[in-house]
Structure 1
Amino acid sequence: MRRGRVDRTLVVAGLATIALGALLLLDRLGSIDLRFDYLAPAILAAIGIVLISAGLS
């Protein structure tokens, strides 16, 4: 097993994917009412966070 530096971009991308998946799951279960005007900024913010973390690496 190789030990090395953790790839920050992959970790942030994974966390953003998990967060968006949790939002979609809560919408599907009826816990929250998620419309496109709420979802689009969340998706764009997740993409922006991943791009910023890639730039810092």
Structure 2
Amino acid sequence: MKKEHDNDAPSKSEAPKESTLKFFVETKTKTKFIKQANREGLKLRDWCIKHLSAACDD
């Protein structure tokens, strides 16, 4: 018996493409980033995306 597909799930071709960005910073710099992200109510990942995207929009 065939299993029906979930119509709400995006197909592989429709799913957003993601990539990894990795860079190294001093521990004290990362700590500053985390504290600022927390002040803004964001996770570090979201904070980095927000600020890196803003730098590209200028």
Do the structures match in fold with TM over 0.5?
no
Greater helix percent: which structure?
1
TM-score, scaled relative to structure 2: 0.31
Higher relative contact order (CA 8 A, sep 6+): 1
Structure number with greater Rg is 2
TM-score, scaled relative to structure 1: 0.32
